[in-house]
Amino acid sequence: MSGAIRQVMITGRVQGVGYRAWVEYEASRRDLEGWVRNRRDGSVEALFAGAEGVVSAMIESCRRGPSSARVEAVREEAATSDALKLRRAGERFSVLPTI
């Protein structure tokens, strides 16, 4: 896998509004690899891997999210390919259980 791998934390009103399903749809549409999950603190965490420009555009889209979400902040950091191992076997992009 070449390109960028970024881990993001999204805060605000991002749970109970279809945010994970929206991320899964958008990431798959953009042919990104990775995962998304809710966190018990009310945030959403995601990992995106793919071409640098596509990953950056996905992160920018996360700043808006689906229409019912109210995103307060998106924090991003570089990640390694080891983080991709959290995906379910055979999936390019997974929705993971809440942690």
> Active-site residues: which are they?
20, 38
Long-range interactions of 70-76: CB distance < 8 A, separation 24+ = 70/12, 70/13, 70/14, 71/10, 71/11, 71/12, 71/14, 72/11, 72/12, 73/10, 73/11, 73/12, 74/8, 74/9, 74/10, 74/11, 75/8, 75/9, 75/11, 76/6, 76/7, 76/8, 76/9
